[in-house]
Amino acid sequence: MKNTLITIVGATAIGKTALSIKLAQHFKCDIISCDSRQFYKEMTIGTAVPDAEELASAPHHFIQNRSIFEEYSVGQFEKDALKTLDKLFTKNPIQIMVGGSGLYVDAVLKGLDEFPEVDSQIRSNLTEELENKGIEYLQNQLKELDIEAYNTIAIDNPHRLIRALEVCIGSGKTYSSFKNKPKTPRNFQTIKIGLKADRPLMYNRINRRVDIMIENGLLEEAKKLHPHKNLNALQTVGYRELFDYFEGNFTKDFAIEEIKKNSRRFAKRQGTWFRKDPTIIWFDFQEDVQHIIKTIESKL
């Protein structure tokens, strides 16, 4: 049988983890996590890391294997994931990858785009503008320079936003023009499974998940991380809003509502990213797992 990576994608809180475990148990294989927020061991509650029971249900890789104090790029993840998959495929020609970070999914399945070197001063200037003028100023700048990137990247993530802008400014070309060039072929085939739900239902699941995170101690977790708020790993939904609460910019209730709102926006962007891929086989998030398994087996 040809090496096959079953890849499960979809919006946050849609049920990807539960499905990945059921499939891993059926195919007796491992799970590669490509959720870029779950790499960090200091971030547990706010990133919805699988619980101890879930982690014990199937072998997982790239869950809380890094510290927020380490720089870890999507390029490094690509290399690490491919090396891990090479080892796993010697034991079982079927493996599973799961996550909602579209860039990280694409890095493993297709390879990364190559961008030109740009003057480091551009990044410094953009970082200064972020601090002095706010993220919306940079978002509007990207909207003018590269509307395609504005519509597809995580513009609420300052790191991604600045990266796109520095390429636009430094090269004089759009960030998106460097994307989707020919890449090195992979030594495995891919079967992509997407989970979906009607938007009101999905948004209700997201809101409920945030409430559960708060009940489980997200405020306490964020409080410990607050002194390190400028680290790249912490420029993410669920933590930024609470840092504003700790600094007196938001009330607690407003911060929680902002987490819900920004999580819904994030889910919408995930949907935009994945819907562009015609090779994804979509299922309702409540679909019977046996039907999904039969579909996968028909493609093997």
Which residue ranges make up the annotated binding site for substrate? Answer: 12-17
Helices (H), 92-198: 102-109, 120-133, 135-145, 147-152, 158-171
- H/E segment holding residue 222: helix 218-225
Backbone phi, psi, residue 191, to 5°: -115, 115
Assess contact for 102 and 13: CB atoms under 8 A.
Answer: no
Q: Binding site residues for ATP, as ranges?
A: 10-17
Spatial separation of the C-alpha atoms in residues 78 and 146, rounded to whole Å: 26
Q: Structure tokens of 176? A: 């998106």
Q: Binding site residues, as ranges?
A: 10-17
3-state secondary structure of 19: helix
Spatial separation of the C-alpha atoms in residues 295 and 281, rounded to whole Å: 9
Strand 31-33's sheet: what is its strand order?
A: 60-61, 31-33, 94-98, 4-10, 189-196, 281-284
